[in-house]
Structure 1
Amino acid sequence: MHFERMAVRRMRNWFRKNSKFRTGRGAIVNVVEHDSRRVYFKSANGKMVNTIELYKLKAAIRDLFARRTVTRKQLEVFSNFSSALLGLLTSIFKGMSKLTSGARGFRLTVIGVRFFFSGCDRAVKDLEVAKANGAQFVLMSYYYLRNDRSGNWRKHVKRIGLKVMLDSGAFSVWKRQGAGKDVQEIDVRDYAKFVLQHQDIIHSFITLDVVGNHEASAANDAYLRSLGLSPVPVFPAMADLQDLEQLVKDDHEVIAIGATVGMKEAAKRLLFAQIFAAFPDQRFHWLGGSSSLINEFPWFSADSSTWLSGRKYGKLMDEQFKTTKAPDSMDGLTALAHNVRILVGLENKRVNQIEAQDEQIIAASALSA
């Protein structure tokens, strides 16, 4: 994969140019030497030389880019010297990652927006086109999947090779009930059972909210966590920011911002400006995010079904989320593929910018030599 080549190249270049780095707490660590198997290092004030296996370092890099965010604690599976490993990763990926500290300790997060392609719960061809053009993650709704007794959705996700963010579908239930339709409520026990059954392909899952009932939502979330699960909490757009403050203090890996569908763009911009100003280090997922506001704020991830406009309406998206009519010669699936590539590019946009800058520096150095 492209990121693996990039990561190995950055790692090798870092060792050629550097001999020291800092841990999250600022302690200086000196690299004594490195070879094809290990990195040898010691603290600036210490005498003992410690090591990190090179294959473990590479594994930690893969994990970082797979998760997009890791804590020092999570790095313990790769090395007993997790603080040094975190400091090394921070130094190697300087400019394309951010080190923060919260209730769960130090955390390193790769800059960029991971996009989850939604609206394709039952559209196999769309899933195939998405994967063929770089997509790795999709958002699917339990509301639709719960009645798929044959498990076709799972078969296709496994076959194609995708990871799923699972939405509870609570908003879909609420919306249909509001329209006077007889809709089966979502039972939190059934939801939990479904998540546990499909953990191998579920990347993450949204907690089961009850629209307009904070107490019931909190009870559902508590039940899911009592099972050892880690649902993504949701902050409704019109709620009090003090409620969000408590979620941030809990240092969740990601917090979803919901209920923005239908809000005017100016109102969303104002809300997001307040959220990111108050909590600049928190990782937020924008539920139903599909406008240029993805570029205006440092989102961790987002999802939307807007990409499907390529197939449905022949609309092409650009990097600013503006749409234009596709040429008459372009069919719907080709337009769909174009939109996928645009949104996939959000994840490594910052990484690619840093890489391009580094290449320019190397080229300029070569010319002046």
Structure 2
Amino acid sequence: MYIEYKLNARKIERQFKRMLIKKGTFHTAQGCRNYLVEYGKTYLEFKSEKGVAPQKIKRRSIRQVISFFFFKRTTVRKDLERYSSFTSALFGILLQCFKDKVRLLKLRAGLYRLSLLGTRFFFSGLERDPALLKMLKDSNGKYVLFNYKNILESPQCLQMLDTYDLFCVVDSGAFSIFNKKRKSSKQLFHQRNLFENEKLDEMTLEGYAQFINSHKKNKRILGFFPLDCIGDPEKTKVNYERLKELTDANICPVWQITDSLEGLDQLVKEEPEMIGLGGCVPFLSSRKHIVRDILDQVTKRHPNVCFHGLGLADEMLLEFNLFSADSTSFLNARKWEGGNKIYLSNGERINAPESMSTLDIIKQNIQFLLELEEIKNRQLSFSELLVS
């Protein structure tokens, strides 16, 4: 874990101690009351209203759980077994420590998933750029999204995770192939069956599964997105199910925004840690209202589910409080003329001052996106700011 997480955990555990000494009780997620017996130098001793004998949890274990939660940002009770056998109490402690900063999702078995508010941003497009990976580290950034297709072409990028102390999720590279195919054929978004009738060499489903199985124990890799098909929800589902047969790694399912809400409901019933929202990018240039309308429906339908915006990095992250997101848009200033934009505090982007260099613009964008983890409440839009 990062040292700042440990420091935060120490501070929060002490705050919990002060609260518990004052109130004398804390509750589990199920509402069971736990009574304080003693909060010592090295342990917390408490008694459950359902139990007879007092129980002890090391203070070190409490801090480890808090640090783990900062790092993972979402957890269920089972995740806490490595720290103590009293997982119900530990989960209740987390709920108390972060009560105003979390969403609580009740699962089918009656248990809960606890997830931090704010949006963790995964910076993508950096597989071949050690200089910008260093800039990200120097800015206290920790998370990237690496594209499987780019990893195959530049396998040394995985070593960069250790070099710069970063963590990543791996994307299949589906959008990169879709975009290349779209440009070469001069067709629009509505083309279908992207992966049919074409041999993609190592970019096959089986090749991706082999890669996943070779790297699923890498502590620097937090998870994998499946081989989704832009504009083809059914093919995306087939690929996801097949990938689950080929690997037991942490696969985060993707719901295409062109799919039905009932299709999303089915994924939610599987109770994954996170669900990717795919197929947004082709709409963003001229049909953003469509994405906004769909995100509004999705987040109202499942307000406590962790959603990841694939390719999203604008004001909608704040509007809909997505759990996480990724994009290359912070690099736009060096990608094309007119891409020299910086973020306002509400997530909208404006032209950067001419005095700012390309690297300055990228650095400012990185800093804004990093701060999304700390934003808890919806921000005013640019128009609302003007009215104010």
After superposition, the C-alpha distances for 1:29-80 in whole angstroms (9 at most, x for unaligned) are 1121111211001113533100111111111111111110010111111111
Equivalence for 1:63: 68
> Which residue among 241, 254, 275 is the counterpart of 1:234?
254
**Residues 345-360 of structure 1 correspond to what in structure 2 (within 5 A)?**
345-350=371-376
Aligned AA for 1:166? V
Does 2:335 correspond to 1:309?
A: no
1-structure distance, mates of 2:119, 2:104: 17
1-structure distance, mates of 2:29, 2:153: 47
Q: How far 1:143 moved relative to its partner?
A: 1.7
Q: Secondary structure at the match of 1:146?
A: helix
2-structure distance, mates of 1:202, 1:245: 27
Q: How far 1:176 moved relative to its partner?
A: 2.7
2-structure distance, mates of 1:64, 1:4: 11
TM-score, with structure 1 as normaliser: 0.88
2-structure distance, mates of 1:213, 1:286: 18
Q: 8 Å contact 1:235–1:256 — kept in the other structure?
A: yes
Q: Secondary structure at the match of 1:165?
A: strand
1-structure distance, mates of 2:233, 2:291: 22
Aligned AA for 1:51? K
Q: 8 Å contact 1:129–1:333 — kept in the other structure?
A: no
Equivalence for 1:43: 48
2-structure distance, mates of 1:115, 1:338: 14
Does 2:168 correspond to 1:167?
A: no
Q: Taking every aligned residue pair, what percent have the same amino acid on both sides?
A: 30
**Residues 287-306 of structure 1 correspond to what in structure 2 (within 5 A)?**
287-306=310-329
Which range moved further: 199-208 or 171-180?
171-180
Aligned AA for 1:292? E
Equivalence for 1:21: 26
After superposition, the C-alpha distances for 1:307-329 in whole angstroms (9 at most, x for unaligned) are 11355544322222333343444
Aligned AA for 1:254? M
Q: Secondary structure at the match of 2:326?
A: strand
Give the length in aligned residue pairs. 350
> Which residue among 5, 8, 17 is the counterpart of 1:6?
8
1-structure distance, mates of 2:313, 2:331: 12
Does 2:214 correspond to 1:194?
A: no
Q: 8 Å contact 1:134–1:340 — kept in the other structure?
A: no
Which range moved further: 195-204 or 134-143?
195-204
Q: How far 1:23 moved relative to its partner?
A: 0.8
Aligned AA for 2:14? R
After superposition, the C-alpha distances for 1:90-125 in whole angstroms (9 at most, x for unaligned) are 111210122222146322111110001112221221
Give the root-mean-square deviation of aligned CA atoms.
2.3
Does 2:40 correspond to 1:52?
A: no
Equivalence for 2:191: none
Q: 8 Å contact 1:307–1:339 — kept in the other structure?
A: yes
Q: How far 1:211 moved relative to its partner?
A: 4.2
**Residues 62-141 of structure 1 correspond to what in structure 2 (within 5 A)?**
62-103=67-108, 105-141=111-147
> Which residue among 273, 278, 281 is the counterpart of 1:258?
278
1-structure distance, mates of 2:251, 2:52: 44
1-structure distance, mates of 2:53, 2:326: 48
Equivalence for 1:269: 292
After superposition, the C-alpha distances for 1:273-326 in whole angstroms (9 at most, x for unaligned) are 111111112110001112111111121001111111355544322222333343
> Which residue among 204, 211, 222 is the counterpart of 1:203?
222
Q: How far 1:215 moved relative to its partner?
A: 5.3
Equivalence for 1:32: 37
Equivalence for 1:142: 148
Equivalence for 1:367: none
Q: Secondary structure at the match of 2:373?
A: coil
Q: 8 Å contact 2:29–2:112 — kept in the other structure?
A: yes
> Which residue among 337, 349, 358 is the counterpart of 1:323?
349
- Specify whether residues 15 and 191 from structure 1 end up closer, same or farther in structure 2 by C-alpha distance, changes over 3 A only: same
Q: 8 Å contact 1:195–1:202 — kept in the other structure?
A: no
Aligned AA for 1:284? F
Point out where structure 1 has 5 or more consecutive residues left out of the alignment: 354-369
- Specify whether residues 84 and 221 from structure 1 end up closer, same or farther in structure 2 by C-alpha distance, changes over 3 A only: same
Q: 8 Å contact 1:166–1:202 — kept in the other structure?
A: yes
Equivalence for 2:269: 249
